[in-house]
């Protein structure tokens, strides 16, 4: 008998395994520091390695079990050498998004002191924005794992961009609320709708729903950007943006670009939130080029762990979980500030374990 919050832990493949272990250690330390009860973890086997061994991409009953617990934490899934017969990769996490309607993909992008700025302009030090990526439909509605592509023999393949009113209304409401929460913490309170409404009916519909919801949030400034112009502006003046909302494929691409602006994928945290279930994972993959070498930067995963604590706080009404999330964010900032965090990803001398240990020392 336990009243601990229960987390489905899916370490997955490659560096996913190392960064998951790092996250569990740091989350545990932050909870202890702030006087919160520890979480209990239930590991679920899934991924390309598991598929190679068993022919299944997730353990039997794994999807159901994951959704029954209080949150899901995932390391990374996929190995380029392990594929289905159609050439696509093992991706059960896309099914989890679909089954549990994890429409709100929250991807914070924040410049930390002394972490590499890829832009020469000193204003890049002030980058602090969130990409809100719809994560169940858009062009990923057709993702191979769902078997929905229209495959016409070996001559033609059609994928579908699906935008529904139900999901888009929820997404935009989530975006406005996120901008409001950030405004309460001192950010500008601005939401930019990123689309391609000039060309695609689906995208004009996406923008129309944005315009329907905006009047309910008069305290939030709104803006519009076509996705191609957004790519330009993310390089020219990313410091001018706060929250940006977009369909799945645009968010997939722009969140990698944005992650690059503040260092690399090792800084790219991610929350995927639905009505009932929340899944937290770094935005990066299994990084086969560095796996098994203690070279991965665990911060994207650890900051995703902080997002998980924020989510659990909101779900349970236990505000001390937010304190634990803030303790992690502050430890990361302080580590960069004091140059005791120097990830190899940025040319530093610290691998996964050394970065994790610095945070554990700070949270002790």
Catalytic residue IDs: 141, 196, 228, 252, 256
Given 92, 274, 285, 335, the residue binding ligand NAD (CB under 6 A): 285
Cβ at position 210, least distance to ligand NAD in Å: 27
Question: Quick one: 11 or 238, whose CB is closer to ligand NAD?
Answer: 11
* Residue 133 sits in the site that holds ligand NAD (CB under 6 A): no
Selected range binding ligand NAD among 34-42, 64-72, 73-81, 185-193, rule: CB under 6 A? 73-81
Q: For ligand NAD, give the closer residue by CB, 97 or 196.
A: 97
Residue nearest to ligand NAD (CB): 285
CB of 330 to ligand NAD, least distance (A): 21
Asked if residues 213 and 169 have their Cβ atoms less than 8 Å apart, the reply is: yes
Q: How far apart are CA 78 and CA 46, in angstroms?
A: 10
Six token digits for residue 97: 């998004």
Minimum CB separation of residue 50 from ligand NAD in Å reads 13
Tell me if 48 sits within 8 A of 10, measured CB to CB.
Answer: no
Q: Smaller CB distance to ligand NAD: residue 167 or 297?
A: 297
State the greatest distance between any 2 C-alpha atoms of the chain, in Å, as a whole number: 61
Cβ 328 to ligand NAD shortest distance, Å: 16
Which residues lie closer than 8 Å to 192 by C-beta, 6 or more apart?
A: 222, 223, 224, 225, 230, 241, 242, 243, 244, 245
Q: At 32, which helix (H) or strand (E)?
A: helix 15-33
Closer residue to ligand NAD (CB): 122 or 147 = 147
**Residues belonging to the chain:** 364
| Cα–Cα distance measured from residue 221 to residue 27, given in angstroms and rounded to the nearest whole number | 35
209 vs 254, which CB is nearer to ligand NAD?
254
Q: Please report whether residue 341 would count as binding ligand NAD according to CB under 6 A.
A: no
Should residue 252 be labelled a site residue for ligand NAD when binding is judged by CB under 6 A?
A: no
349 touching ligand NAD, by CB under 6 A: no
Nearest to 254 by CA among 196, 306, 302, 172: 196
The reply on whether position 297 binds ligand NAD by CB under 6 A is: yes
Determine, following the binding rule CB under 6 A, whether residue 246 of this chain makes contact with ligand NAD: no
Distances (CA, A) of 289 to 17, 223, 272, 293: 15, 39, 26, 9
Residues 6+ apart with CB under 8 A from 294: 18, 351, 352, 353
Is 286 a binding residue for ligand NAD by CB under 6 A? The answer is: yes
User: At closest approach, how far in Å is the CB of 79 from ligand NAD?
Assistant: 5
Residue 45: count other Cβ atoms within 10 Å of its Cβ.
17
- Per CB under 6 A, does 62 bind ligand NAD? no
What does each C-alpha distance from 189 to 211, 242, 245 come to in angstroms? 16, 7, 13
Residue 288: count of CB within 10 angstroms of its CB: 15
Q: By CB under 6 A, name the one of 111, 300, 302, 308 that touches ligand NAD.
A: 300
Q: Which of 79, 307, 327, 350 is in the footprint of ligand NAD by CB under 6 A?
A: 79
Tokens of 247: 């369909």
CA 128/CA 255 separation, integer angstroms: 13
Check residue 107 for interaction with ligand NAD (CB under 6 A): no
* 77 counts as binding ligand NAD under rule CB under 6 A: yes
Q: Please list every residue from 176 through 215 that binds ligand NAD, using CB under 6 A.
A: none
Assess 274 for contact with ligand NAD (CB under 6 A).
no
Determine, following the binding rule CB under 6 A, whether residue 262 of this chain makes contact with ligand NAD: no
Give contact residues for ligand NAD (rule: CB under 6 A): 15, 76-80, 89, 93, 264-266, 281, 284-290, 296-297, 300, 345
């Amino acid at each position: 008998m336990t009243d601990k919050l229960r987390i489905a832990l899916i370490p997955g493949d490659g560096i996913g395994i190392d960064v998951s272990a790092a996250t569990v250690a740091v989350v545990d330390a932050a909870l202890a520091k702030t006087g919160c009860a520890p979480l209990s973890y239930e590991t679920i086997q899934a991924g390309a390695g598991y598929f190679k061994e068993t022919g299944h991409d997730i353990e039997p009953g794994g999807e159901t079990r994951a959704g029954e617990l209080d949150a899901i934490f995932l390391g990374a899934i996929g190995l380029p050498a392990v594929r289905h017969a159609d050439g696509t990769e093992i991706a059960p996490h896309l099914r989890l998004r679909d089954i549990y309607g994890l429409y709100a993909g929250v991807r914070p992008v924040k410049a930390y002191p002394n972490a590499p700025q890829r832009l020469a302009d000193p204003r890049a030090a002030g980058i602090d924005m969130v990409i809100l990526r719809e994560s169940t439909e858009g062009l990923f509605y057709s993702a191979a794992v769902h078997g929905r592509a229209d495959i016409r023999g070996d001559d033609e393949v059609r994928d579908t961009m699906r935008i529904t009113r139900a999901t888009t209304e929820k997404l935009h409401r989530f975006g406005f609320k996120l901008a409001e929460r950030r405004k309460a913490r001192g950010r500008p309170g601005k939401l930019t709708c990123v689309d391609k409404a000039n060309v695609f009916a689906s995208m004009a519909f996406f923008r129309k729903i944005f315009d329907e919801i905006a009047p309910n949030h008069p305290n939030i400034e709104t803006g519009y950007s076509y996705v191609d112009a957004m790519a330009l502006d993310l390089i020219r003046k990313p410091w001018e943006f706060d929250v940006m909302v977009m369909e799945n494929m645009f968010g997939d691409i722009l969140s990698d670009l944005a992650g690059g602006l503040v260092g690399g994928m090792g800084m790219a945290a991610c929350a995927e939130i639905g009505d009932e279930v929340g899944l937290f994972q770094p935005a990066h993959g299994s990084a086969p080029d560095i796996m098994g070498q203690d070279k991965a930067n665990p911060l994207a995963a650890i900051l995703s762990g902080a997002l998980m604590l924020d989510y659990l706080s909101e779900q349970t009404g236990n505000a001390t979980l937010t304190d634990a999330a803030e303790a992690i964010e502050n430890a990361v900032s302080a580590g960069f500030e004091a140059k005791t965090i120097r990830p190899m990803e940025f040319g530093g001398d610290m691998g996964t374990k050394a970065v994790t240990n610095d945070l554990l020392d700070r949270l002790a």
